[in-house]
Each structure stands twice: as structure tokens, then as C-alpha cells.
Structure 1
Amino acid sequence: MPPMTRNDPSALDLKRQAVRWLVRLRSDDLSEAETLAFAEWLSQDYRHSEAFAAAENTLNEMAVVATHSEKLAVTLPPQTVSPTHPPERRSRQAARGRYWLGSGLAMAAVWLLAVLTIMPRQSHLLADYFSDYHTGTGEQRQLELADGSHLLLNTNTAISVDFNADVRQIVLHHGQARFQVAADAAHPFQVQAGNLNVRALGTVFDVYQSGSQTQVIVEEHAVLAMPAGRQAADGIRIEQGQQLSYRPGQTGALATIDLELAQAWQQRQLIVSDRPLADLVNELERYRLGRIYIADETLKQQHVTGVFPLDNPDVVLETLHKVLGIRATHLGPWVVLQR
């Protein structure tokens, strides 16, 4: 296929396609079909990946220009009215002032669009800002609360703490945390995660909040999970070695699990036992910025087994490349896996 020039209509159309994909990739409702379509689009022609990279660079440059333009608009001194200037000239000066201010605001809007578009999917700026404690992508953090309870925050997690005269309340805004609860019968220990309240009946449990889904794993003793609006009598009791997966409007599914596999993240490991590659990739995405796409549906379903370190997910991708013969194409923070 011959190269396309800057003014070639096909090149312009390719740029539009790349920008549309860049916007869709930052959408929270990107479907599996769209993900596959994006991977296929990239593999059709090397110029597609070049156009995609160019679109990302353009948005970065626009963000920089917006920052400078906004400063210029804010620091412009007010126009001084001189009696020697006729009204028409003053009107033109005022119009120019409004033009520059309007341009600054417009560029600020472009800057905001650029930031929202290229921002990592894992970002939760508002929740992190208003939380008491949070971790970044790939970070873990241990905490000791005032009551002696111990918490381990996993990657990309934010919590708020509210201890009062009646209850020890933790709000899990997003992410995953392990709770080792100090005994205090007079002050129940409760975790609010999305639409679910989890009350400790024993010592150690794990709560993972992602989107509308809440997952609770009990390592020791038991907990009581209560959907919003329900009383304790209507709660779901989760015993040691059990996992509850809950979404609003659903009853909640209880399952017996392998605690060794479930606890592996606490040692910064990911243990996968005969699971589809797509499951492994979904977990790896939690520990790195950007997205990982699998271009082939058959490749998604290929089963893998292994113990993988979480300190450097890109090393895991390199291991998959060597063992499974998978090729990884890097486009900034995005990675496309294909045979």
C-alpha cells in the first residue's frame, strides 16, 4: 500500500479514526467487542498504529499549549481607556480582550479533554483526594488504625475512616483491602463498599470494590454482608474460606475458594491455575498504567498456569512472550498481545 500524504483524504480519515479510538479507549463502557475491534484495526496496517501514536502526541501537545494559553488569558492586564481612543477602537480592543479570554477558556476545555482522554484508566482523582488513605497503581500500603486494627491496601485503593461512639466505620471508595480487626464488642467494625455493608464477626477478611461489583473473602472466622437498606437479620453470612460476589439488585453468589490463591496478592504475587489468559491480563492491568488488549479471541481463551510477580507486570508480559510465543506491541501505555 503506497504511503499517504498529509493532505490525502485517506490520511485525514485515518487520523479521525485514531482520535475516535483514543476517546473510546478511555470510556468506562468499552465493550469486549470494541476491544477486539480496536486490536484488529491496529493489526490491519502499520500506519494505524502510527496514526494512533500521533493522535496521542497531539493531545499531549494540546494540553501543554492549553496550559500556557490559560496563563496568558489570566495574566493579561485590563485595557486602559484613553480619551484619545475613539469608541470604535475601544470596542475593538474589548472584543480582542474577549477573544483572548475566550481562546484561553477554549484551550482550557481542550486541555481538560486531553487530560480525561489520556488519563490512566485506573485514575480516581476525586475519590483519592477526599479519602483518608490511598495507594497508587502498583503500590501497597500497611496501616494501623487507632483501635489497633491493621489494614493492607492493595494497588489503586482509597479508604476513609470514621470511628465514632457507636461504630468503627470504613468506607472503601475503590480497590482492595485486607482487614485484621481488633476486638471491641462495644464498637462493631463495618466496611461500606458500594451498595454493600460488611460487618466483622471475627478477625480477618478482604473486600474488593470494582465498579458496581463487590467481592468479599473471609480468611478467618466470619462476616455479615448487608445490602443497603437491609437489616442484619437479612444479611448474608460469609464463613472462613468463602467468597461473596455481589452486584446491586442481585442476591449475591457464595462460593468456596482456595485461600492460598486468594491471598497471593498480599505477597505481591499472582497465582493462576489453569485459567484463561484473559483472566491473567485482567489482573495484571490492576498493577500497571494503561491497558492490555488481546487481539485474538482464541488467544484470550488459552489456559495458563503459573506464579507471577506483581512488582513489574511488563516482565510478566515478556515471560508470556517467551513461553507462549506471544508478540506484545507497545503504544505508549497500551499493549496489544497477538500471536
Structure 2
Amino acid sequence: MHDPLQAAAAWHVRLSAGDSPADREAWQAWHDEAPEHRAAWQRVERLKDLLAQAPTGCTQVLQRTGRHGRPARRALIGGLGALALAAVSYPWLPWLGAAPVDWVATGAGEQRELALPDGTQVLLAALSRVGIQDGRRARTLQLTQGSLQVQTAPGGHDKPLSVQTRDGSVRPLGTRFTVTLAAQHTLVAVREHAVEVLPNGAALPVRVSAGQRALFTAAGVEPPTAIDGSEDAWARGMLLALDQPLAGFLQALQQQSGVTLSCDPAVTGLRVSGSFLARDPQRSLATLAAQHGLKLVQRGAGWHLAAR
């Protein structure tokens, strides 16, 4: 059996039927033989929690496997392999009977601090949405919009944590990191220790260490590069602009501050660089206006930058 995922599913069935010392030793040898084997086993392990909570009929199929010979066994192994791929790509599929998901969302100018039962701290950025799923064997943060920062609790935990996006998963290795879901990719930036990134279509995870950032899609991970500070500036109440068009800068500042911001069409392409206080947009725009010879005008509850 050359497909690591199919082999992992077969080992799961074999060990579930009767975990003898000989079987456990043989499984360990297979598991340690190659990184692909370890990654495949990790995927099947993620599925076990979903299967444990599946409808009764699914559980009965598992229980009957050992009594119906090789054809049924092969069918279940194939089904587990396909199910594992689906569950890793779409961990919240309702037909798997997964643990309930608690959804938390933020509006413009709003951040939310969340604490997991083990003490892990999660900070949700403005205009973001995350689903918290606490299963029997694993915990998942499903980021479907915006950004979040995770500071894992010290010490080990019996249930591994991962951040899932449409592109794949990020597994912390005792660390502080941010994840941002963009239109075409997911961005992960690591401040402490390291994480493992596993795209939906990949067999092996990629390690991203402290001081590094990486873009990934469902197809793969780009080589990690050095962080520049813009990835998690929002968590410090800052907005970092690096040669950014004024229109894009105002949109980002409006998102973080919750204050309506605009500018004259003639200056939308003005390039902006610097660090700005997202929680004090008036002060930030006053500084920007002074630097570029613009005029700051109040419009209702918002602010407008005009050419002089």
C-alpha cells in the first residue's frame, strides 16, 4: 500500500480491531519510517475525533468491520482515506457529526479577546470571524474572515490545537503567531517558537519559525521570509504602511478604527509609509496631512483629506 493516507487508515482500522503489542510495534516502525507516514497518521488522528461523534450508524459500521472479512475491511479503509481528505479540507462538515462550533465575529473598530479553557489567549482583529470547536481529541479555530493572534498557554495539552482556514491548517508548537485570511492566500507570521503549516493539498507540513512569515494556498507554501512588522501591528493598536496608496491606507485605517475616512480623488494614489495609531485616526491623519501638505477636514463623525 503506497498511498500514506490509505496506509494510515489501514493502521487505524487494524489497531482499533485489537491493539496487540506486536501490532503497536509494527505500527510504530511504519510511523517512524518516513515524514510522509507521520503526516498521514496526523490527518487520520484528526478524523478520529469526528468519527467518535458521528451518528450511530457510522459507529456500528466500525464495530462490524472485524466480522465481515476482507472486502468490507478494504471498503472501510478506502472510505476512511477519502473521509480523512475531506475532513482535513473541510473540518466543519456537518454530516460528520462534529463537535459544535461557537462563532465569534467583530465589527469595524472592534477587537475581541478570547480565552480557551487551557489558558491559550486569542485576539480577534476588527472585521474578523472565527469558529471555536472543542472536540474530544482536538481543538480547532476556524478562521473564515480577517485576522487573529494566538498566544498558546505554557505546558502541554492533551488536545492539540490548530487554526484552520480555507487553504489549510496551522499547528502551533508552543508559540505566539498571527494568521490572516486574504482573498487569494493565507498569511501566517510567527513571533515566538514555531508553527507547522499544512495546506489542504500537501502531504507534509512546512515549519515556520520565530521571525518568519509565510504565504500559503491549498496547493502549497511559499518559502518563509522575514517578518516586517505589518503582519501583527493591528494587535498593538498600530497600522504600518509600507509605500501604500493613500486610498488603501485609509480603507485599512477605517477598518481598524471604525471611523469613516475619505480623501479627494486627486490624492488617492499618494504613497504612504510609516507607523500610525489606529485607535486615534484624527491624530494619525493630522500627522499624514502635515507630511504631505494636505488639509484635514472633519465630515460628520469622520475625517477627509483634501488637497490644498
TM-score bracket for the superposition, by shorter chain length: 0.5 to 0.7
| Inter-partner Cα distance in structure 1 for 2:163 and 2:176 | 12
Q: Tell me the secondary structure at the aligned position of residue 177 of structure 2.
A: strand
Q: Tell me the secondary structure at the aligned position of residue 219 of structure 1.
A: strand
Distance 1:331 1:214, change over 3 A: farther
Deviations 1:72-107 (A, max 9, x none): xxxxxxxxxxxxxxxxxxxxxxxxxxxxxxxxxxxx
Is the counterpart of residue 210 in structure 1 residue 182 in structure 2?
yes
Is the counterpart of residue 138 in structure 1 residue 109 in structure 2?
yes
Q: Tell me the secondary structure at the aligned position of residue 224 of structure 2.
A: strand
Is the counterpart of residue 161 in structure 1 residue 113 in structure 2?
no
Aligned residue among 269, 283, 286 for 2:238: 269
- How far off its partner does 1:308 sit? 1.6
Other-structure match for 1:252: 222
Contact 1:329 / 1:336 at 8 angstroms: preserved in 2?
Answer: yes
For 1:224, the aligned partner's letter is: E
Q: Which has the larger radius of gyration?
A: 1
- How far off its partner does 1:248 sit? 4.6
Q: Tell me the secondary structure at the aligned position of residue 283 of structure 1.
A: helix
| Inter-partner Cα distance in structure 2 for 1:277 and 1:327 | 14
Distance 1:254 1:166, change over 3 A: same
Distance 1:308 1:171, change over 3 A: same
Other-structure match for 2:277: 309
TM-score, structure 2 normalization: 0.56
- How far off its partner does 1:273 sit? 5.7
- How far off its partner does 1:145 sit? 0.8
- Map 1:182-221; keep pairs closer than 5 Å: 182=153, 183-184=155-156, 186-221=158-193
| Inter-partner Cα distance in structure 1 for 2:217 and 2:144 | 15
Distance 1:334 1:227, change over 3 A: farther
- Runs of 4+ in structure 1 off by over 6 angstroms are 329-336
| Inter-partner Cα distance in structure 1 for 2:248 and 2:213 | 18
- How far off its partner does 1:219 sit? 0.8
- Map 1:69-218; keep pairs closer than 5 Å: 132-182=103-153, 183-184=155-156, 186-218=158-190
Distance 1:291 1:200, change over 3 A: same
Other-structure match for 1:283: 252
Gaps of 5+ in 1: 1-129
- Map 1:17-28; keep pairs closer than 5 Å: none
Other-structure match for 2:60: none
- How far off its partner does 1:275 sit? 5.3
Is the counterpart of residue 320 in structure 1 residue 288 in structure 2?
yes
- How far off its partner does 1:274 sit? 5.9
Aligned residue among 206, 220, 228 for 1:236: 206
| Inter-partner Cα distance in structure 2 for 1:244 and 1:332 | 41
For 2:238, the aligned partner's letter is: Q
Contact 2:285 / 2:296 at 8 angstroms: preserved in 1?
Answer: yes
Q: Tell me the secondary structure at the aligned position of residue 284 of structure 2.
A: helix
Distance 1:332 1:251, change over 3 A: farther
Contact 2:213 / 2:226 at 8 angstroms: preserved in 1?
Answer: yes
Q: How many residues align?
A: 205
Other-structure match for 2:196: 224
Distance 1:254 1:336, change over 3 A: farther
Contact 2:141 / 2:163 at 8 angstroms: preserved in 1?
Answer: yes
For 2:234, the aligned partner's letter is: W
For 2:139, the aligned partner's letter is: R
The two structures, once aligned, show a CA RMSD in angstroms of: 3.1
Which structure features the higher share of strand residues? Answer: 2
- How far off its partner does 1:262 sit? 4.1
